[in-house]
């Protein structure tokens, strides 16, 4: 199984607002993707979720002893924020 494909599919499935448990995440994966990779296991999902958590693209939340994940909104870099401030200062609408 290609790890990058699985990471991208997990990121598509995760929500910014609603934390998802492992079972719900597995059920919400695209059915075409699951049919294309029938060897997909919970261990593969956990491994990719741990990688996404370490790279700060997902956040692990424990609710009543159950692990749940939520997608982290990507932050703009310092240079982009600075450029936006400068442009908004000169080009006010």
pLDDT digits (tens, 9 = 90+) for 13-65: 999 999 999 999 999 999 999 999 999 999 999 999 999 999 999 999 998 99
Is the separation of the CB atoms in 61 and 70 below 8 Å?
yes
Triad 69, 45, 64: Cα angle to 5°: 35
* Burial status of residue 14 (CB atoms within 10 A of its CB: 0-12, 13-18, 19 or more): buried
Instruction: Read off the pTM.
Output: 0.76
pLDDT in tens, 59-81: 999 989 999 999 998 777 888 88
Residue 93's pLDDT is 59
Triad 8, 10, 16: Cα angle to 5°: 105
């Amino acid at each position: 199984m290609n790890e990058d494909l699985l990471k991208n599919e997990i990121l598509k499935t995760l929500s910014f607002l609603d934390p998802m448990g492992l079972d719900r995440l597995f059920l919400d994966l695209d059915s075409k993707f699951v049919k294309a990779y029938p060897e997909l296991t919970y261990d593969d999902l956990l491994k990719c979720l741990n990688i996404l958590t370490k790279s700060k693209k997902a956040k692990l939340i424990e609710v009543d002893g159950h692990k749940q994940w939520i997608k982290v909104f990507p932050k703009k870099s310092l240079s982009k924020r600075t450029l936006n401030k400068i442009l908004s200062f000169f080009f006010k609408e």
